[in-house]
């Protein structure tokens, strides 16, 4: 039997805020009270610290293999980086290859992640080959394998994009069996026309990545995805929402009582399209999809987070190095030096989600502390079938706990982060609020700058229904 006692911390959940002691036994929260004493427990003094449920990041891409490009974090390095950022569970992706069944894709990813994961994990399955056999497997994946969310792409024709008909077929099946569909919403075919026109005119620099992916094409696809989901009677979740006009579509649907949900990501909250004016190839660091948007979108997104038009902040951690060394050209932005279309789409961020949102949300007065916890832990857990095992501090929940110093300032930098990637979008950015200790099911895995976890500690999490309890 292992016992851990966290004393005198300020416990903050999505609804609570009080000072108390927490006794953890065998990885779960055993009791919470004003005063707990124990002769046997390992004791941690949390006086002056916030005690929050471990972060849950429901959008990461570790060891993501897109053929032409692969992300540079392994499950080990990516989940260790997550842990240092106060995240104790990730929901990553299992990509169905053409000709492969979704179950096979899941088995492949499980075999890769299980021995490496340093925090708990699950997957959304990305459906790319929607055949009758694919559809037949979905109920069992939801009900027995604990995979209750499936992602489809409306972008990247010829690579990841699936037709509206196939999206609709999958939606109907997933909806009937308690799952949720998540969608990358951009009109891929129209964007392809714009890309081809830009390249034909010799416009090859990274800025044209943004100029060929207009906001209204995100809005159009968002509207289409929601209407398809409405007809199919399935909850739908828009990933990486960036454009004000796309948010308007989500709000319109929610006002009509449709179970439409959305996440946004820190880069859309903190950075704008002006980053693409950086000299030379520097702007390639900011090539993610959708691209960074104008200031007015940032205002709309912050407002959306505050008033629950947006439910979750995830990172879309999709790390490609800027330089070819040390991981090779396929893990590097240099693939697109002569042509923006070849720049791998994605940016890192798993380690900085919580400090950034604390700084820009809580410290800046945009979000209450409770709302901050809701957006980074509780809502992800509820949305994706992990609650109440995860996402809160309560008797019987997993003891995934972050001790956070709200007054400690630090500088975000690639020289000190724990990801394999060789840059951060926030180099030199000062934030106040620092993760001090992280417990994964009661085990101390981060203590200041010290790493105490190990690969394989992270456990696969079977999830219950998604999109039903918000
Ligand atoms: N969409 C994602 O969700 N992640 C990385 C790239 C992309 O287009
Ligand atoms: Zn996407
Ligand atoms: Zn992504």
CA 407 to centroid of ligand 1, rounded, Å: 34
Calpha distance 354→364 (Å, rounded) = 14
Q: What is the DSSP letter of 229?
A: H
Residue with the smallest CA separation from ligand 1 atom 7 is: 289
Rg (CA), the chain: 21
Calpha distance 220→167 (Å, rounded) = 15
Beta carbon of 333 within 6 Å of any ligand 1 atom: no
Residue 201 exposure: Cα atoms within 13 Å on the Cβ side: 9
Closest ligand 1 atom to Cα of 316: 4
Neighbours of 469 (CB within 10 A): 11
**Each residue's pLDDT expressed in tens, for the chain with a length of 470 residues:** 799 999 999 999 999 999 999 999 999 999 999 999 999 999 999 999 999 999 999 999 999 998 899 999 999 999 999 999 999 999 999 999 999 999 999 999 999 999 999 999 999 999 999 999 999 999 999 999 999 999 999 999 999 999 999 999 999 999 999 999 999 999 999 999 999 999 999 999 999 999 999 999 999 999 999 999 999 999 999 999 999 999 999 999 999 999 999 999 999 999 999 999 999 999 999 999 999 999 999 999 999 999 999 999 999 999 999 999 999 999 999 999 999 999 999 999 999 999 999 999 999 999 999 999 999 999 999 999 999 999 999 999 999 999 999 999 999 999 999 999 999 999 999 999 999 999 999 999 999 999 999 999 999 999 999 998 66
Nearest to 350 by CA among 130, 89, 24, 16: 89
Global pTM reads 0.98
Q: First-to-last CA distance in the chain?
A: 35
Residue with the smallest CA separation from ligand 1 atom 8 is: 289
Beta carbon of 184 within 6 Å of any ligand 1 atom: yes
Q: Which of 240, 262, 286 to mutate to test the pocket of ligand 1 (most atoms within 8 A of CB)?
A: 240
Beta carbon of 166 within 6 Å of any ligand 1 atom: no
Q: Which of 288, 291, 342 to mutate to test the pocket of ligand 1 (most atoms within 8 A of CB)?
A: 288
Sign of CA dihedral 335, 337, 342, 347: positive
Calpha distance 394→44 (Å, rounded) = 18
**Residues in the 5 Å CB sphere of ion ligand 3:** 316
Beta carbon of 318 within 6 Å of any ligand 1 atom: yes
Beta carbon of 239 within 6 Å of any ligand 1 atom: yes
Neighbours of 463 (CB within 10 A): 24
Cα angle 87, 369, 300 (rounded to 5 degrees) comes to 90
Beta carbon of 209 within 6 Å of any ligand 1 atom: no
CA 429 to centroid of ligand 1, rounded, Å: 24
CA 361 to centroid of ligand 1, rounded, Å: 24
Specify the CATH number of the domain 55-363: 3.20.20.140
Beta carbon of 316 within 6 Å of any ligand 1 atom: yes
Which-ligand-closest: CA of 315? 3
Nearest to 202 by CA among 339, 337, 333: 339
User: Do the Cβ atoms of 467 and 151 come closer than 8 Å?
Assistant: no
**Residue that is written with structure tokens 């940016």 in the block:** 347
CA 57 to centroid of ligand 1, rounded, Å: 15
Calpha distance 17→372 (Å, rounded) = 12
Q: Six-digit token pair at 389?
A: 């095992």
- The 236-238 sheet, strands edge to edge: 55-57, 87-95, 120-126, 149-153, 180-184, 236-238, 260-264, 312-313
Calpha distance 153→181 (Å, rounded) = 11
CA 29 to centroid of ligand 3, rounded, Å: 32
Looking at residue 470, its pLDDT comes to 61
CA 5 to centroid of ligand 1, rounded, Å: 40
CA 272 to centroid of ligand 1, rounded, Å: 18
Strands 443-447 and 42-45, bridge-based pairing? unpaired
What residues are paired with 25 via a beta bridge?
Answer: 3, 28
Looking at residue 1, its pLDDT comes to 76
What residues are paired with 12 via a beta bridge?
Answer: 17
* CA dihedral of 350, 355, 357, 358, whole degrees rounded to 10: 160
CA 265 to centroid of ligand 2, rounded, Å: 11
Looking at residue 468, its pLDDT comes to 86
Looking at residue 137, its pLDDT comes to 98
**Residues in the 5 Å CB sphere of ion ligand 2:** 184
CA 346 to centroid of ligand 1, rounded, Å: 6
Calpha distance 315→82 (Å, rounded) = 10
Looking at residue 364, its pLDDT comes to 98
């Amino acid at each position: 039997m292992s016992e851990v006692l966290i004393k005198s911390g300020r416990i903050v959940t999505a609804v609570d805020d009080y000072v108390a002691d927490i006794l953890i036994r065998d990885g779960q929260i055993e009791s919470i009270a004003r005063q707990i004493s124990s002769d046997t427990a390992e004791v941690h003094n949390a006086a002056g610290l916030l005690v929050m449920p471990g972060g849950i990041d429901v959008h990461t891409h570790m060891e993501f293999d897109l053929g032409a490009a692969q992300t540079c974090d392994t499950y080990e390095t990516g989940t260790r980086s997550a842990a240092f950022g106060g995240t104790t569970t990730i929901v990553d992706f299992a990509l169905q290859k053409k000709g492969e069944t979704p179950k096979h894709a899941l088995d492949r990813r499980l075999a890769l992640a299980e021995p490496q994961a340093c925090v708990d994990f699950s997957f959304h399955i990305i459906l790319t080959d929607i055949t009758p056999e694919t559809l037949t497997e979905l109920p069992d994946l939801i009900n027995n394998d604990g995979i209750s969310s499936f992602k489809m792409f409306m972008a990247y024709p010829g690579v990841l994009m699936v037709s509206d008909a196939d999206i609709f077929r999958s939606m109907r099946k997933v909806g009937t069996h308690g799952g949720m569909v998540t969608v990358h919403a951009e009109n891929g075919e129209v964007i392809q026309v714009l890309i081809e026109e830009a390249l034909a005119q010799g416009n090859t620099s990274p800025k044209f990545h943004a100029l060929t992916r207009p906001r209204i094409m995100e809005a159009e696809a968002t509207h289409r995805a929601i209407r398809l989901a409405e007809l199919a009677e399935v909850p739908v979740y828009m990933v990486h929402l960036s454009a004000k006009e796309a948010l308007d579509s989500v709000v319109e649907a929610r006002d009509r009582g449709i179970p439409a949900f959305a996440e946004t990501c820190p880069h859309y909250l903190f950075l704008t399209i002006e980053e693409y004016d950086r000299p030379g190839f520097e702007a390639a660091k900011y090539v993610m999809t959708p691209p960074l948007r104008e200031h007015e979108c940032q205002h709309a997104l912050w407002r959306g987070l505050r008033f629950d038009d947006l439910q979750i902040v995830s990172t879309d951690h999709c790390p490609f190095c800027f330089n070819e060394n040390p991981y090779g050209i396929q893990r590097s932005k240099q693939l697109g030096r002569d042509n923006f279309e070849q720049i791998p789409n994605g940016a890192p961020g798993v380690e900085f989600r919580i400090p950034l949102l604390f700084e820009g949300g809580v410290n800046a007065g945009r979000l209450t502390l409770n709302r901050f916890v809701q957006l980074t832990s509780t809502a992800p857990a509820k949305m994706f079938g992990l609650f109440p095992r995860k996402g809160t501090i309560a008797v019987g929940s997993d003891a995934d706990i972050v001790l956070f110093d709200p007054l400690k300032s630090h500088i975000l930098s690639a020289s000190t982060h724990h990801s394999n990637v060789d840059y951060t979008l926030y180099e030199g950015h000062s934030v106040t609020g620092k993760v001090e200790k992280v417990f994964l099911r009661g085990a101390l895995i981060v203590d200041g700058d010290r790493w105490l976890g190990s690969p394989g500690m992270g456990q696969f999490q079977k999830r219950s229904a998604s999109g039903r309890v918000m």
